[in-house]
Amino acid sequence: MSNSLLLTDIRQYVQEHIGKFHEARLNSLRNLELEQILKRKNPYLFRAKNILIASDLVRSLLDAHLSSPEETMFGEFLEGLAIHICKRTFNGKKI
């Protein structure tokens, strides 16, 4: 497969699959409840970080909520992309 065909194939794969990553992030936020996230976070940490405004607190809570699962979801997307590229270039597969 030529480089230009491979790049086109990669672009197509990304376009077809990146939406799942974004949809998972949105679903995570849709199902989030303030009480749930406040139970998991140490309020003194936010005070120590000098977070005094409610909007800064909300932003910080949402960032903390998304960061860990986001890494996992994006890692899964990249793994799928790597498997796809390997399959297309070397006829490889994940065992």
23 alpha carbon, distance to own chain's centre: 10
- Beta-carbon contacts of 18 under 8 Å, excluding residues fewer than 6 positions away, are 77
First to last CA, the chain: 23
31-63 residue pLDDT tens = 888 888 878 877 788 778 888 888 888 888 888
**How far is the C-alpha of 67 from the C-alpha of 57, rounded, in Å?**
15
* Contact predicate 77/15, CB 8 Å: no
With cut-offs at 50, 70 and 90, classify the pLDDT of residue 66: confident
**Cα–Cα distance list, 77 to 35, 42, 67, 73 (Å):** 30, 31, 15, 6
Give the tokens for residue 76. 């899964």
The whole-model pTM stands at 0.67
